[in-house]
Structures are given as structure tokens and as C-alpha cells.
Structure 1
Amino acid sequence: MTGGITPAESDRPIRIGNCSGFYGDRLRAAREMVEGGPIDVLCGDYLAELTMLILAKAQAKDPAAGYARTFLTQMEDVLGTCLEKGIKVVSNAGGLNPAGLAAAIEALGTDAKVAYVEGDDLRGSLGAIDPPVDGKPVSANAYLGGWGIAEALAAGADVVVTGRVTDASLVVGPAAWWHGWDREDFDALAGAVVAGHVIECGPQATGGNYAFLDEITDRRYPGFPIAEVAVDGSSVITKHPGTGGLVSVGTVTAQLLYEIAAPAYLGPDCTTHFDTIRLEADGEHRVAISGVRGSAPPPTLKVALNDAGGYRNTMTLVLTGLDIEAKAAFAEELLFDVLGGRGRFAEVDVRLLRFDTPDAPANERATAHLRITVKDPDPRTVGRAFSNATMELALGGYAGFHTTTPPSAESAYGVYRPAAVPREAVTHTVVLPGGKRRVVADPPVATAGTGPAAGSSTPAESEHSRPGGPTRPAPLGTVCGARSGDKGGDANIGVWTRSDEAYAWLRAFLTPDKARELLGPEAAELPIDVHPLPNLRALNVVVHGILGEGVASSTRPDPQAKGLGEYLRSRVVEIPEALLG
């Protein structure tokens, strides 16, 4: 390995356990992971795109803030035990202030050797970002890779905290250090990226948010996942014995499909080719991942920008019984007449959400919601002046008027923008225990294309013919699972089947046009890509622009598209009877 890094042990797989999938996840997970069985590294992911905006707001109020304080709470609880057991700790909880978090950990008084990784924060050097940045974003972070983590561990660090590295880097860095990989070991690095992608969201890999609920026979809170990463980059995903949930080919497939785009998954350390992944059951609660191919990474790094978007407010009016659409139209017209017109606001979003059924057997089943959101740079425009105005309809509006909440104040919102930056414009730096700073070298990058490394191959489409014969209407989810999430302003829906025959049918059935039709009016005019992943019996559906300017700005009731996959599964379509059983 370059940089004088030597492996911690010979060829034994490194056991990396996750204790957090987001800022606010289960606090007890750290202790459960440390005490539940043997691990070599405890890692945790805290930095979603929205989290960077939250941390920026906290840092604006207190320059010493800007990191995930829940991680510090977890370290107060388990760091002493980690030191006793020789467990390394790696986390991106440093957010916008990794140096501050490192100092806070040192102040715990455990004598832990703490290192931190920085260089991702570009707020002071925006000039090289493409597209060019206007104004002053509240956060601007390049996605770094795992080599700074690897070098910190090689220098003897017990704890490594970072700013914005990729989620998978929390596995890539420790695996590269442990096994002595080189920066050109792209297949091994890609295998670690896949393992990291599976465990980064914690219990989503062990039965959480899983489409086939009947498969989860242990309904206790799921145990957090562990990746056993071997010297060749292959891995086994598992969990501690005696914990809840399930690790199966299905649960791992679901997480592999979460928040991805094209099969060539671009990262700072390598390009990982998701269409080469192979999964196989390896015993109870054990799934083996193999065959992953990697190639050189791109010459640019992804950048996440968050801008202050202005202020927003939402009021939800409840409509009951008859004439729902007429009541909604009347309420909207009357409200904006009271407010002085829609033009008072920079943006207005009105959605009629239908939950009502005819001749409903209960009051609540006869209701619909009229959800009205307004945005403006002036907080006074969208504050109580807006929400109080809705209450003027209470006695002068439609029959049965009431709201889901009392009048509310405005709240600030952010706008997410993806961008890129040349690698040479970013100084990936690790600050080692004792304070020595070291610039981290880049890997060799691709000069053209993103194809797999020489000698690799992409699996052929399923050789099974599509089932023919009669069909009958049934929910799409009868034959496939799904998991969905956000990628900035886009949403992805990973859809997979449990048989080759079902995949052959799904591959032909779920075209971009069919996906657009099934997802309804909000997707009618949006670009949609469908990427086949035959090795996983899966399709990845990417819906561009459905989340607008990202989760912090989106006016969808489900701003991160978490339920979009389950909505797609609920749609009734014609399915071959041979698949329905």
C-alpha cells in the first residue's frame, strides 16, 4: 500500500459494524454493536444532504458547533470499551467542523488517539466549482474518499472523524488499511464500496423498511449490520447473534438499490459497477457479496451545495363529505382573495390530497386535505400573516371547515444543488494524532468513459423467457419489492423480483413510459430512466426533478420520496397468472 500503510492483520476479513444511518438514529446502537459480539471497527454515517444544512444553521449560531452531537454522546458511552477491546472508531460526524469534534472527543479524557479528515469544505474557495456558484452558499462540500481514513488508522489513530466523505468511505478506508490495498486495487475497493453502501443506512440492511413484511419473522427492532470485508474486496453482510430483524438476499438487494442512479456508480476512490454484483445466501443471517468490478474514478469530485432559499409556511385544510373538489376550489379562491392575491408570494403550491371514499363508514374516511404552501424571501409575508388568514375561512368558507394544525409561524428552508469540482482544486487532508498534517494523494483517474476494468464483464439479461398465457389484475407489488429515496431533486425507485421469470416479465413491462403512467400526474412530464440490473433481478427507476430543489425545499408531502416505491407497488396492473401462483 502506498504511503507506508501496513495491514493490521494478515488475510482475515475485517469486521466493520455500523451504529448510525442518519443524524438522529438509535443512540443505543453503538453500545449494542460494541457489546453484541466481535468487531474490529465501529462506524457511523450522520451526513445526509439535509444534515449539512442543519449543521450549517447550528454553526451560524455557534461557530464551535457544526458537528453531530449525538455521535459525541455515543462516544461518551462506548469509547472506553472500544479502547479496551481494540475497536477502532470511524465516523463522518465531523460534518462542518471535524476539528471541533476531534477536540471534543479528546476532552472526554480517555487518552484515545484522535485524527480527523478535512478539505471537503469549499465555502472559502468556490471558484473551481462547476457550474459556477452565485452568491454565498451556507454549505459547499466535496465528497472525499477513504484514503485519509486509511492513513489515519495506519498512523495509530483510535478514532477518525471526517467531514463530508462518501458514506461508503467509512468502510473503504478501514478495509484498505486492514488489507494493505493500493490505490489501483479497483476491484477490491469497489467491493468495499458495495459493502459500505449496504451497511451505511443501518437497519435498512437488516429488515428495516423492507417491502416483504411477511419475511420478517423476528419483529424486534433490527440489529444493526456488520460487513466482513475480505482481502479481495468480497464481503459477507451479517448482524450480531440474537438481534432482531433479518439479513437475507432480499434485504441486501433492497439496500443495494437505495439512492443510486446509473449502474456505473461514480466515487472518489473508484467507479463501482453495480451490474457486476453477485449475491448469495451464506447461512442464517449471512449474505455473501462477490464479483464486484471496479475501474478508475472520474477526474472530478461531487459537490453538494446548500443555499438559503427563503421562508415557507404550510397550512392544511380538511374537506369532508360531498363536493370535495368544489369545496377545495372555493377555499383556494377565497383564501387568496383574503391574502391579496397569489402574486404576493414568490411561490405557491396547492395540493388536493384525496383520502375520502363515497358513503364512508367512518368520519375520517370521508375526508380530504387541501395542503397550501407559500414561499417568499420575506419571512413576514409567509408567517402568521398567511396562516392567520386561513382562519378567516373558519366561519366564512366551506361547510365543515377545520385545519390539521393551528396557525403556525414561518420556517427557513434550503435549496440543494449538485455540482462538481476538479480533484486538483481540493486538498484532501488528514490531521494525525499529535497534530501533524498530511495531504492525501489521489488515486489514478479515468481519462475516458467509466467502463469496468479490463477483463470484467457485465451479466447478460435473464435467459428465461417471459411468461405468457392469461393475465389478471393484481398489485405490482405482488411480484416485486421496491425501495425508494432521494438523490437531490431526483428520486430513485429500486424494484426487484424473487425469480428469473418475474424479472424477465418486469424488464419488458416497466419501461420509462409505463413507470411515468403508474406514478401518476406528478411524473407525467418528467424524464425517467430505467436501468436494468439483471444480476440482482432488478430495475432502477430514476425520476428526474420530482423533488424540485431537494428535500429541504420540496413541497411534496413525502419530500424524500420514501413512500414512492410502495406507491408504485400498490398500482394494479395486468400480471401473468403464471407469476401469481
Structure 2
Amino acid sequence: MATNGSRNGASKRVLKIAGISGGVFDRFRSIQDLAKDPSIDVLFGDWISEISMTYRGNERATREADAEQVAFEMSFVSALKPAIKDIAKNKQRVAVNAGSCDPEALAKVVQQLVKDHGTDLKVSWVTGDDVTVKFKEMLKNGESFPSLPSDTPIDQWGVEPVCAQAYLGGVGIAEALRNGADIVICGRVADAAPVVGAAMWYHNWGREDFTQLAYALVAGHLLECSSYVTGGYYTGFKKELLYANNCTNCGFPIGEIEANGEFVITKEETAGGIVNVQTVTAQLLYEIQGPLYYNSDVTARFDGIKLIPEGPNRVRVTGVVGLPPPPTTKIGITAKGGWQAEVHFFLTGLDIEEKVELVKQQTLESMGDYRKEFQTLTFNVTGSVPVNPKNQASATVDLRIFAQSRNADLMSAGTHKGVAPDTPSFGKWCIENCLQGYPGGTPAMDLRQSIGKPFFEYWVALFPQDKISHEVHTFDKKTIPIPPPANTKVYPRQQDTYDTSSPLPLDTWGETIRAPLGHIVHGRSGDKSSDCNLGLFVRNADEWDWLRTLLSVVKLRELLEEEDKGKKIDRFEIPALNAVHFLLRDHLDRGANSSSSYDILGKNVCEYIRCKLVDIPKIFYDRGTI
């Protein structure tokens, strides 16, 4: 492979890389504003998620039936347009995964765009993530593709796979940059892969420089969610953002990666938000699965990481350990799940449980034997009525009837082509009992949600890297194959899990106060398929022994109460960060694409746990709450 140095031809000490998007919906101003900063070397962004992958994958797989469908993220084009001339002027590089399920098509759009703006920016793209053909061949030959969250073999899934995408690493991006690309369009690369690739290119790292690659992987993990590391989702938002009038324009994050791999997390100087040890810790704990963080290029060990404040809005990351990558990578498999719909009722005041039961019995009676055609049918109440409420709104809760079925006619509410308006349907069954319903019976009058919309099932498994045709396609029409890693290590499917060693008696700290855990404990949670991770940490070192002693797996199940699914929970600690991490296996009802819950992304699991009452040592509580 070519080994051109940094963008200036010789490796500088620091690569300055900015995170410009954490999702398809992120603020468009990012590229335009950060492209104006000539000190920034690389702009990278994450445009896709498990949700968007399923939709784009289906669009790609069914394109022959609808030639107008695009399988990439057009929002990237809109964000890129106003920045093109500054990117060219400041000789910046751009690496994004906005190609989703068709990076070549997006690359051609961008090639025309940069030409229209009178620049000579060179656009290359990376392929190989679409492994549908090879996956189906292996499936036919008996490969079981067990689910990562549940270990269930895929033949128990009950739906027909449509497409499959593998998570690629950063080596292809590095090779594209080494061969002169200014903009690299990728499909499903791992969220952190553009940072790994950019750092490999900039600092001339090889594929077995595992320590440096692991640092870059951690940097990418911290930067890829955009403002999540600069104040977004931060549990200390009240004092440090909201009350400080510092919350309306959180800056986009910037990483300064040194030649040995160590790096600093900072942010735009002219924007709001905050970078401190707590915001970085929260993002570090987000969406991880255990002490080992796997990537196609390297494995990073998290449980020795240390964070060192270096001044206002600057945190240095050290203590990362790099190990060889596994011979496999993650694969996301999409299937059509069927149709889903929902109807909402508002219930006010007294007898809420009985009102719900009345709606349930009447609705099920209306459905009759048709209820057997629903794969999912739930009656969920959101909210509760306080004693002696001060206004009607606070005395009102939401009843959500949620259904999924593979019978399109049943979910059509008479709108499906060729179906008569009087055909039995989910929406009709929910509404027809209103006049014999509960006291004050009031449905939500916008019934568009009662009309079925398609949903997808998503299956996560492992796929051998040597079965992937990873390639770089350059602006000057070359195709460069990227071989799989030569030095790999097979890791157990089960990561280390343990309760704390040498717990202390909980009366060690004297008098306690019964209060919400989150009054002194920060946290972050999130989804990976149907797994939910939960990281909790304290602000002060002398609180660590209390936190690690309190938060055992048994205690977490106690705090979860009715939310405990009875499934496996893994636990490990990061002592230098005063953090306890849990992985709630298969907790999220199949994950974001098909979940019947409001909390489809698992982000509110943390906030639920933080609001639960525990006995907090008074000496800690008296320091002030978060």
C-alpha cells in the first residue's frame, strides 16, 4: 500500500479531526462551519443507524421494482453543498458513511456536485459491506449465524432475510486517502472507522500498530455521536448547560490525535456546550458491550482508560490497550417484519387500571379470532396520576394500543388497494367501542397511526472477514482490494462479567439519605440491536467504593423492578473513571426497528434507573446534587 504521510506530505504531530454528524437528522450547519477552520485536517460523520440501514437495505434490495428509490443519505449532500469551496480552499479531507447501501451512487452525485462548484476535489468510495450474496450462500450451506444478543440461531427468526451488511473497518478509508482522495464515501463502516482510517493515513500507521489503532478507535467512538460528547444527553445538563444559558448551540467535537495514538477531545471554540471528564466518560460508556471494544481493524481494551482534564473544554485520553482484531466482524441482517399500527386513548383521573382493562376487553372481543393474526398486540399506559392533581393535564395518561401483523389487509383500515372500507381492521376494532367505553373516553383524533406501515426486523451476528470483498474505488478509476487482517485473535463470545471484589458494608459511610440515585450519579445508556447497555459513574473518587458496592447485578434487578426481563445481565468496572457498566442482554424487544416500546433506543433505561430511590451517604449528598 502507498504510505504518503499527512495532508502536507510529512506526518505532523497532531491530526485534528472534527465530528460533523451523529445521524441523518443532525444539524446541517456542522460541515459549513467547520470547513471554515483551516486548522482542521479531516471532517468525518456518521449518517446511518440500525434503523436507516434496514430501510436503505430494503430499498437497495427492491430497487428493480422501483427504479426511483435511492439507498443512500441525500441529507449529506444538502449539508455538503455550502461547504465545498471551503473544503477545497483549506485542503481538508472528508470521510463519511452516508453512502449507506449504495456508496457508488452517492459518490457519483458528489462528484458532480464538486464539479458544479468549480473545484477539483477528488471523490473515491469504498465497497464490500454488502455481503447479501455470500451470506445467503453460507446460510444455505448450514451456517447458523447465532444472534449476538441472544445466541439464538437464525433459523428460529421466523422471517426471510432481505439483505445483509458487514461492518467494515478503516483500512479502506486510509487507502483511499493515501491514493489522493479528498472525499471518501462509505457504506456500512463501523461508526468509528473513519477516524481509524484518517489516523492511519495521517500518521502512517500500519495494520499491526494495535496500540495506536486502538486509541484511534476510542477517539472515533467518542467523536462519532457529534454533540453527545459536548453536552448532548449529559446528565449534568441543568447546571452546566441549561441554567448557564449554554445549551442552544452545543459545539461539534474535535479530536487531536497524536502520533503515538494519545488524543485530546475538545470542541468548536465559538460554539456552546461543554467538554469535561463527565461528558467524555458518559460517551465512552455509551453503546459498549464490555471491557473489549471490537472493530475490524483492532480491539481496544476499555477498563484501563484514564481521562485527564487539560483545561477548559479539553480532556486527554490515556491508558488504552490495543489487541489484534477478531477474524470476524459484525453483520446486520434485514428482513421484512410486516405491518405495524397504533391507536391512542387519553384516560383521566380515577380508576386508570380499570379503564385500561375495560378498553382491553372490549377491543379483544371486537377482534375475535382475528387477534391470532397479530404477532404483537400490547396495551401500554404511559404516565400516572398524582394525588390531588393541580390541573387536568397532570391527571391524564396515555393508553397506547400497539399491533404488528403480517396481514396487510388487517392493518390497512380500509386504505389498502383493493380492500373495501368495511373490511375488519385494527383501527376499526380499536375505535368502534368508544360509545360503550370508559368514563371520559377520548381517543387521539389523528388516526393516521392506525393505518399500518411497514416495519423491519434486524438480526445481528458475526461474519468472517476473509469472506468480504473489501475494495476502494478511486476517482481515477482504479480498484484497490483491501485484504482481511493477517494478525487476528479469536475472542470468547462472552466477555468478562463480575460483581465487585471486596465489597464494603453499605453502612461504612455513616448516615444515609433516601433519594434518587441520579442526584449524585451520572450515566448513559443505549442500544445495540436488542441489547441495552447502561453505564453509571460518580463525580468524586471517594464515592467509588460506595457505587461499586451498591450496584451489583442483584441490585440492578431490584431497581429495574417490572422492567427486569429476567435475561442475562453482564457487569464490569472501570475504576479510573469511577464507573460501573451493565449490559442488559436482549432487553429491548428485538431492537429499534420493531420494538413495541417507546424507548426503542434504550436511552431512557439510564434515566429510569437514576430516578429510583436508594440510600445515599449523607456526606456525599451534602456536596450538592447533579
The verdict on a shared fold, with TM-score over 0.5 as the criterion, is yes
What is the one-letter code of the residue matched to 1:124? V
Alignment deviations for residues 304-325 of structure 1 (CA, whole Å, 9 cap, x no partner): 1121101111112221111111
Task: Report whether the alignment pairs 1:300 with 2:341.
Answer: no
Deviation at 1:540, TM superposition (A): 1.3
Deviation at 1:343, TM superposition (A): 2.1
SS of 2:403 mapped into structure 1: strand
Q: Give ranges in structure 2 of 5+ residues lacking alignment.
A: 146-153, 414-424, 494-499
Task: Report whether the alignment pairs 1:55 with 2:68.
Answer: no
Q: Which moved more, 1:94-103 or 1:310-319?
A: 310-319
**Cα gap change, 1:64/1:415 in structure 2, threshold over 3 Å: closer, same or farther?**
closer
Task: Report whether the alignment pairs 1:309 with 2:337.
Answer: yes
Partner of 2:144: 131
Q: Is the contact between residue 523 and residue 543 of structure 1 (CA under 8 Å) also seen in structure 2?
A: no
RMSD in angstroms over aligned alpha carbons? 2.1
Alignment deviations for residues 88-126 of structure 1 (CA, whole Å, 9 cap, x no partner): 010010110000011001111133211100001012221
Q: Is the contact between residue 296 and residue 450 of structure 1 (CA under 8 Å) also seen in structure 2?
A: no
> What does residue range 466-545 of structure 1 map to in structure 2 within 5 Å?
467-545=508-586
Deviation at 1:519, TM superposition (A): 1.7
Deviation at 1:465, TM superposition (A): 9.7
Q: C-alpha distance in 1, partners of 2:445/2:302?
A: 45
- Select the residue among 486, 492, 496 that pairs with 1:444: 486
Q: Which moved more, 1:245-254 or 1:466-475?
A: 466-475
Q: C-alpha distance in 1, partners of 2:311/2:388?
A: 52
Deviation at 1:58, TM superposition (A): 4.1
Partner of 2:436: 396
Q: Which moved more, 1:480-489 or 1:498-507?
A: 498-507
Partner of 1:373: 402
SS of 2:303 mapped into structure 1: helix
Deviation at 1:36, TM superposition (A): 4.7
Partner of 1:548: 589
Q: C-alpha distance in 2, partners of 1:10/1:311?
A: 53
Partner of 2:192: 168
Q: C-alpha distance in 1, partners of 2:229/2:522?
A: 14
- Select the residue among 67, 85, 94 that pairs with 2:99: 94
Q: C-alpha distance in 1, partners of 2:455/2:354?
A: 32
Q: Percent identity?
A: 35
Q: C-alpha distance in 2, partners of 1:137/1:421?
A: 15
Q: C-alpha distance in 2, partners of 1:291/1:360?
A: 52
Q: Is the contact between residue 58 and residue 163 of structure 2 (CA under 8 Å) also seen in structure 1?
A: no
Q: Is the contact between residue 123 and residue 182 of structure 2 (CA under 8 Å) also seen in structure 1?
A: yes
Task: Report whether the alignment pairs 1:288 with 2:313.
Answer: no
Partner of 1:117: 126
What is the one-letter code of the residue matched to 2:351? D
- Select the residue among 329, 332, 336 that pairs with 2:357: 329
Partner of 1:43: 44
Q: C-alpha distance in 1, partners of 2:13/2:162?
A: 44
Q: Is the contact between residue 254 and residue 267 of structure 2 (CA under 8 Å) also seen in structure 1?
A: yes
**Cα gap change, 1:348/1:500 in structure 2, threshold over 3 Å: closer, same or farther?**
same
What is the one-letter code of the residue matched to 1:48? S
- Select the residue among 257, 260, 264 that pairs with 2:288: 260
- Select the residue among 372, 377, 387 that pairs with 2:427: 387
Alignment deviations for residues 212-259 of structure 1 (CA, whole Å, 9 cap, x no partner): 121223223101001111101111111121211001111111111110
TM-score, normalised by the number of residues in structure 1? 0.94
Deviation at 1:138, TM superposition (A): 3.2
Deviation at 1:56, TM superposition (A): 2.8
What is the one-letter code of the residue matched to 2:30? A
Partner of 1:180: 204
What is the one-letter code of the residue matched to 1:186? F
Partner of 1:73: 78
Q: C-alpha distance in 2, partners of 1:233/1:64?
A: 41
What is the one-letter code of the residue matched to 1:380? D
Q: C-alpha distance in 2, partners of 1:239/1:185?
A: 27
Task: Report whether the alignment pairs 1:352 with 2:393.
Answer: no
Q: C-alpha distance in 2, partners of 1:144/1:175?
A: 16
SS of 2:164 mapped into structure 1: strand
Q: Is the contact between residue 547 and residue 554 of structure 1 (CA under 8 Å) also seen in structure 2?
A: yes
Q: Is the contact between residue 35 and residue 83 of structure 2 (CA under 8 Å) also seen in structure 1?
A: yes
Q: Is the contact between residue 3 and residue 204 of structure 2 (CA under 8 Å) also seen in structure 1?
A: no
> What does residue range 6-21 of structure 1 map to in structure 2 within 5 Å?
6-8=5-7, 9-21=10-22
Q: C-alpha distance in 1, partners of 2:337/2:545?
A: 45
Q: Is the contact between residue 307 and residue 317 of structure 2 (CA under 8 Å) also seen in structure 1?
A: yes
**Cα gap change, 1:565/1:344 in structure 2, threshold over 3 Å: closer, same or farther?**
same
SS of 2:133 mapped into structure 1: coil
**Cα gap change, 1:404/1:539 in structure 2, threshold over 3 Å: closer, same or farther?**
farther
Q: C-alpha distance in 2, partners of 1:394/1:37?
A: 63
Deviation at 1:462, TM superposition (A): 11
Q: Is the contact between residue 565 and residue 587 of structure 2 (CA under 8 Å) also seen in structure 1?
A: no
Q: C-alpha distance in 2, partners of 1:432/1:324?
A: 63
Q: Give ranges in structure 1 of 5+ residues lacking alignment.
A: 452-459
Q: Is the contact between residue 64 and residue 100 of structure 1 (CA under 8 Å) also seen in structure 2?
A: no
Q: C-alpha distance in 1, partners of 2:362/2:444?
A: 19
Partner of 1:572: 613
Partner of 1:343: 372
SS of 2:35 mapped into structure 1: helix
Partner of 2:462: 420
**Cα gap change, 1:286/1:461 in structure 2, threshold over 3 Å: closer, same or farther?**
farther
Q: C-alpha distance in 1, partners of 2:356/2:373?
A: 20
Q: Which moved more, 1:496-505 or 1:521-530?
A: 521-530
What is the one-letter code of the residue matched to 1:33? L
Deviation at 1:347, TM superposition (A): 2.3
Q: Is the contact between residue 114 and residue 157 of structure 1 (CA under 8 Å) also seen in structure 2?
A: yes
Alignment deviations for residues 374-394 of structure 1 (CA, whole Å, 9 cap, x no partner): 111112212322112222122
Q: Is the contact between residue 464 and residue 500 of structure 1 (CA under 8 Å) also seen in structure 2?
A: no
Q: C-alpha distance in 1, partners of 2:458/2:67?
A: 23
Deviation at 1:464, TM superposition (A): 10
What is the one-letter code of the residue matched to 1:363? Q
TM-score, normalised by the number of residues in structure 2? 0.88
**Cα gap change, 1:138/1:524 in structure 2, threshold over 3 Å: closer, same or farther?**
closer
What is the one-letter code of the residue matched to 1:97? D
What is the one-letter code of the residue matched to 1:343? K
What is the one-letter code of the residue matched to 1:389? W
Partner of 2:220: 196
Q: Is the contact between residue 16 and residue 228 of structure 1 (CA under 8 Å) also seen in structure 2?
A: yes
| Superposed structure 1 runs of 4+ greater than 6 Å apart | 460-466
